[in-house]
Structure formats: structure tokens, C-alpha cells
């Protein structure tokens, strides 16, 4: 956070989300404070370096001040305070903690002034532009953290405990400088109690979904709702459906802004036409186009609609309006047909909630150590308990008594095995996906645009971004 955890690096509405329109730092401000280079620590960081040992692999200096800046949105910030308490006990210092929903506005001046905090949870609608910060060498390379021993098992490195996608997603070119702490499951959310009471089964295919929608509509309930003010929420499903049906290699071409990646992919046509059909048959709750993420979630939990596209932060965010017996659950991606490139059970589940360590902070080593503490089983489980979310630590919740939504998310991830999709397009180019393409999706779902036009425009916007030299480009390997 959605983004997401989007958690979302989107909490208000996206990050992705949960957040609104992403606020990008002024390039002039950040360029003025570019430090150049990357990988090493600043002079301040070197001064706060201690002696390494088996129990202190990063070399944290006792008593050295450390500052944490945590996004306080749908996840709150108590989980971070709990980890900070353990840091305080171990290193004889009180972590300076700030919880806020305005990460970017409050920290842009500090980066410009050369005095950023050490650890930053860079989420919410007003997050910092990590692409710019990374390209300027202002983010600490976190390889040392990955190679450090875990708190639970000195024989296992941090890199051995986290999901492989965490290692991939945290890179800017060759530098690993973002640690996505949460692990978000995106998909179609529903009430297991509703389906059971009505005798409905969660659809396995697009055709099954269309048939069920007709039955749901006849019952007087809307099949779907969505946050029309933030239509990119629909992309959580739409994009991953394209990857599931067409194959990851063709989706990677879309991530990489390749020519004709949208227009030459048959899966794009199939998926977008499915949404066109849902709109044409009136399967979206009337007025959804005017709803915020909170309003659409409330309509859903109050039984006005059966399905909603969202991320696993929704259980925590929608808790105030969710009936105790709701049975929140998430379903896997739908099959398009026998030609699907990925099997049934494929799900979009990927790292979210980006944490960064400022290279120019006074104690970047302390910032990394705070992350090492957060990545312990104790704090991964604490996070799951407090905010109903998985973390980047694989298997940390095994054996725990989980809430309904989190339990469902954990089950689909486990069953999905290696068939877990990660979508980079929304992370790398939010202005493309959330603003430009979000407008297209809004028109598609109200019936004001046909699938063919959506696809044509999506390719056009992608090509424009690919040719725009002011847009930092990233490349994903196959």
C-alpha cells in the first residue's frame, strides 16, 4: 500500500493505491540534492558503525540514534513500534518514531537538506518517488541486510527466508535498495457465508462467472462493485488475468513497454472483452463509478454486491463494516479456456509495503537492523495478528490461528506454489496505469468504451511512455 499494499502503497487509495493520484516529488527538488553513486554508506552512516559479531552481523553501534518514519494508513504503525521496542532493548537507545500519511511532503525537504531519517515506510498516496531517489544514489544498498543472519536461525541468511519475488521486486537495475515487507494477495474477494447460504460456487472460469452473475442479479444483488473513483483497483485483477491466460513472458513484454505488447496478445482481447461483457449486462452495482475504495468496500460488506477486486489489506481496512460471520475470502484467477498458459490456481501474490533506508541518514546500519528485527518470525507473526497481512517471510504464519481473510490468502498462496504472479507495470509506471489507463477502464466499466478501443488506447499510452525520455525506464528479464 492499495499498495500494496498499493498496504498498498496505496492506502488512501493506492499506492497503489490504497491511495489516489500518486504524488511524485518535484524532480528539481530531488535533483538538487542528488548525491551520486550508491552502495556505500554516507559519512554520517560510517560514524554510527559498530563492531560486527555473530549476534550483531550488521555492526550496529550501541547508543547511536536511529530514526524511523512509518506510513500510518490502513496498516497503522504499531507493528513498527513493537519492533522498535526490541531494538531499543538491544542497543540501548530509543528509536525516534514518526507515524504519518504524508511521507513525501514531509520527507522531500529533508532529503533536499541532506538529513533524511534512517528507515522509511514509503507508502500511501503521497509517497516518495523511489525511482528518482534510487537513480540519484540516495537509497542504501540493502545487500548487507540480505546476507545477514536471521534472528531466528544464525545459519540462515535473510535472503533465504523471504519470497524470491521480494528479491526481484526490490531492485532498481542492479541495486537491491527496497525491502517490500508485506506480501499482498490480489484477486476477487467475496463472502464465503454468502456463497454457502445461496448455494453458489466460486467460479472456475470466465464462462462460469458470467453464468453466476446472471443468477446473482436475479436474486436482487449486484454481482460486482468497484471503486470507480480509483478504477485502477480493477487492474489488480485485469492485469493478472492477462498474465495467467497469455503467459508470463507476454506479460513481461507489457511490463517492459514493448511495441505491440498489448495489441498482439490474444489474452488481452479475451480479458478486456470479458469486462466489456460484465458492463454490457449490467453486472456492476449501480453508482459504482462514483465510489471511493472505502465506499465500495462498505457496499460489499453490507451485501449490496457479491464480488470486489482488491488486495489482502481489505480485511483490515474494511473491518469496521464487516459482519463477524462474513467469512471474507479471496479466489484464484479465472480460467479463460484450454489454451491458458498458466494453470488453474494461479494467483497474483507479490511483495508490497516498500521500506527504504536513506544512504544519507545518520544511522543507515540501524535502519537495516530494524528491518532485520521486523523480518524475524516473532515480528512477522505480530504483523499478521495486528494488520491481518502476510509478510515477506515465507511460512511465518504456519500453524497460527488466522483471521478468515488472511487464512484464505495464505491458503491460495500455498496452493499456488510457484504459480504466483508479480505485476511490475503498476509499480514502475503508476501514472500510466493509474491515471491514463485508469481513465480507459472507467469508461469500459460504464459501457462508454468498447474493448477494442481500450486496447488501442492502452497501447498508444504505453508507446508514449516508452518514448518519453523524462520517464525512468526499467527492464524485467524473462
Is residue 31 predicted with pLDDT exceeding 80?
no
Reduce the secondary structure of the chain to three states and give it as a string. CCCCCCCCCCECEECCEECCCCCCCCHHHHHHCCCCCCCCCCHHHHHCECCCCCCCCCCECCCCCCEEEEECCCCCCHHHHHHHHHHHHHHCCCCEEEEECCHHHHHHHHHHHCCCCCEEECCCCCCCCHHHHHHCCCECCCHHHHHCECCCCCCCEHHHHECHHHHHHCEECCEECCEEEEEEEEEEEEEHHHHHHHCCCCCCEHHHHHHHHHHHHHCCCEEECCCCCCHHHHHHHHHHHHHHHHCHHHHHHHHCCCCCCCCCCHHHHHHHHHHHHHHHCCCECCCHHHCCHHHHHHHHHCCCEEEEEEECCHHHHCHHHCCCCCCEEEECCCECCCCCCCCCCCEEEEEEEEEEEECCCCCHHHHHHHHHHHCCHHHHHHHHHHHCCEECECCCCCCCCCCHHHHHHHHHHHHHCCCEECCCHHHHCHHHHHHHHHHHHHHHHCCCCCHHHHHHHHHHHHHHHHHCCCCCCCCCCC
Check residues 47 and 142 and name the one with the higher pLDDT: 142
Which pLDDT band, with edges at 50, 70 and 90, does 46 fall under?
low
Q: Which residues pair with 133 in a beta bridge?
A: none
Q: Average pLDDT, stretch 255-267?
A: 98
Check residues 131 and 17 and name the one with the higher pLDDT: 131
Contact 146, 167 (CB under 8 A): yes
Q: Of 19-23, 151-155, 274-278, which gets the smallest average pLDDT?
A: 19-23
Q: What residues have CB less than 8 Å from 164, skipping those under 6 apart?
A: none
The confidence score (pLDDT) of residue 126 equals 85
The confidence score (pLDDT) of residue 26 equals 30
The confidence score (pLDDT) of residue 21 equals 27
Q: How many CA atoms lie within 13 A of 15 on its CB side?
A: 35
Contact 222, 353 (CB under 8 A): no
Q: What is the pLDDT of residues 153-206, one digit of tens each?
A: 999 999 999 999 999 999 888 899 999 999 999 999 999 999 999 999 999 999
Q: Average pLDDT, stretch 251-278?
A: 98
pTM of the predicted protein model: 0.83
Q: What residues have CB less than 8 Å from 11, skipping those under 6 apart?
A: 1, 2, 17, 18, 19, 71, 73, 74, 75, 101, 123, 124, 125, 313, 317
The confidence score (pLDDT) of residue 428 equals 87
The confidence score (pLDDT) of residue 147 equals 98
The three three-digit cell numbers of residue 284, written as one number: 456492476
Rounded to 10 degrees, the C-alpha dihedral 357/69/180/10 comes to: -140
Euclidean distance between CA atoms 235 and 114, whole angstroms: 37
Which pLDDT band, with edges at 50, 70 and 90, does 132 fall under?
confident
Euclidean distance between CA atoms 424 and 240, whole angstroms: 11
Q: Output the average pLDDT for the chain.
A: 90
Euclidean distance between CA atoms 95 and 362, whole angstroms: 12
Q: What is the pLDDT of residues 364-379, one digit of tens each?
A: 999 999 999 999 999 9
Q: What residues have CB less than 8 Å from 460, skipping those under 6 apart?
A: none
351 phi/psi in degrees, rounded to 5:
-60, 145
The three three-digit cell numbers of residue 182, written as one number: 508485506
The confidence score (pLDDT) of residue 8 equals 39
Q: What residues have CB less than 8 Å from 448, skipping those under 6 apart?
A: none
Is residue 418 predicted with pLDDT exceeding 50?
yes
Is residue 43 predicted with pLDDT exceeding 50?
yes
Q: What residues have CB less than 8 Å from 346, skipping those under 6 apart?
A: 244, 332, 333, 416, 419, 420, 421
Is residue 391 predicted with pLDDT exceeding 60?
yes
Contact 336, 205 (CB under 8 A): yes
Q: Which residues pair with 14 in a beta bridge?
A: 17
CA angle 102, 299, 191 (to 5 degrees): 105
The confidence score (pLDDT) of residue 13 equals 38
The confidence score (pLDDT) of residue 477 equals 84
Look-up of cell digits 519475488: 165
The confidence score (pLDDT) of residue 5 equals 36
* Residue-range domains of the chain with CATH: 13-184+351-408 (3.40.190.10)
What percentage of the chain carries pLDDT values higher than 70? 90
The three three-digit cell numbers of residue 399, written as one number: 500453524
Amino acid at each position: 500500500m492499495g499498495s500494496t499494499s498499493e498496504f498498498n502503497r496505496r492506502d488512501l487509495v493506492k499506492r497503489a493505491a490504497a491511495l489516489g493520484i500518486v504524488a511524485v516529488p518535484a524532480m528539481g527538488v530531488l535533483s538538487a540534492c542528488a548525491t551520486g553513486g550508491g552502495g556505500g554508506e554516507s559519512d554520517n552512516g560510517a560514524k554510527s558503525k559498530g563492531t560486527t559479531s555473530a549476534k550483531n552481523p550488521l555492526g550496529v553501534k550501541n547508543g547511536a540514534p536511529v530514526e524511523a518514519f512509518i506510513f500510518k494508513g490502513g496498516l497503522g504503525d504499531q507493528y513498527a513500534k513493537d519492533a522498535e521496542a526490541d531494538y531499543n532493548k538491544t542497543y540501548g537507545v530509543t528509536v525516534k518514531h514518526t507515524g504519518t500519511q504524508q511521507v513525501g511532503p514531509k520527507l522531500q525537504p529533508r532529503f533536499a537538506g541532506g538529513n533524511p531519517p534512517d528507515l522509511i515506510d514509503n507508502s500511501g498516496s503521497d509517497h516518495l518517488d523511489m525511482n528518482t531517489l534510487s537513480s540519484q544514489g540516495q537509497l542504501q544498498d540493502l545487500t548487507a541486510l540480505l546476507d545477514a543472519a536471521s534472528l531466528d536461525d544464525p545459519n540462515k541468511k535473510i535472503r533465504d527466508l523471504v519470497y524470491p519475488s521480494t528479491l526481484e521486486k526490490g531492485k532498481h537495475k542492479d541495486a537491491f535498495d527496497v525491502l517490500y515487507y508485506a506480501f499482498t494477495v490480489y484477486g476477487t474477494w467475496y463472502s464465503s457465508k454468502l456463497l454457502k447460504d445461496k448455494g453458489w460456487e466460486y467460479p472456475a472460469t470466465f464462462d462460469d462467472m458470467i453464468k453466476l452473475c446472471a443468477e446473482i442479479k436475479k436474486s436482487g444483488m449486484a454481482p460486482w462493485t468497484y471503486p470507480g473513483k480509483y478504477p485502477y483497483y480493477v487492474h489488480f485483477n485485469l492485469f493478472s488475468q492477462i498474465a495467467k491466460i497469455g503467459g508470463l513472458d507476454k506479460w513481461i513484454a507489457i511490463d517492459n513497454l514493448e511495441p505491440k505488447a498489448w495489441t498482439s496478445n490474444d489474452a488481452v482481447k479475451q480479458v478486456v472483452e470479458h469486462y466489456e461483457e460484465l458492463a454490457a449486462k449490467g453486472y456492476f452495482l449501480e453508482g459504482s463509478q462514483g465510489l471511493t475504495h472505502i465506499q465500495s468496500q462498505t457496499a460489499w460488506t453490507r451485501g449490496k454486491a457479491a464480488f470486489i477486486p482488491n488486495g489482502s489489506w481489505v480485511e483490515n481496512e474494511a473491518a469496521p463494516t464487516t459482519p463477524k460471520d462474513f467469512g471474507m475470502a479471496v479466489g484464484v484467477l479465472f480460467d479463460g479456456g484450454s489454451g491458458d498458459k498458466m494453470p488453474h490456481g494461479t494467483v497474483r501474490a507479490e511483495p508490497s509495503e516498500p521500506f527504504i533506508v536513506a544512504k544519507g541518514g545518520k544511522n543507515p546500519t540501524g535502519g537495516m537492523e530494524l528491518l532485520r528485527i521486523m523480518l524475524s518470525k516473532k515480528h512477522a507473526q505480530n504483523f499478521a495478528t495486528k494488520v491481518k497481512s502476510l509478510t515477506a517471510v515465507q511460512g511465518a504464519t504456519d500453524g497460527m490461528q488466522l483471521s478468515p481473510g488472511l487464512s484464505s490468502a495464505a491458503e491460495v498462496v500455498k496452493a499456488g506454489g510457484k504459480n504466483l504472479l508479480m505485476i511490475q507495470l503498476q509499480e514502475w509506471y503508476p501514472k500510466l496505469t493509474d491515471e491514463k489507463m485508469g481513465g480507459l477502464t472507467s469508461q469500459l466499466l460504464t459501457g462508454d468504451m468498447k474493448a477494442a478501443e481500450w486496447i488501442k488506447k492502452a497501447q498508444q499510452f504505453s508507446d508514449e511512455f516508452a518514448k518519453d525520455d523524462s520517464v525512468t525506464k526499467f527492464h524485467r528479464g524473462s
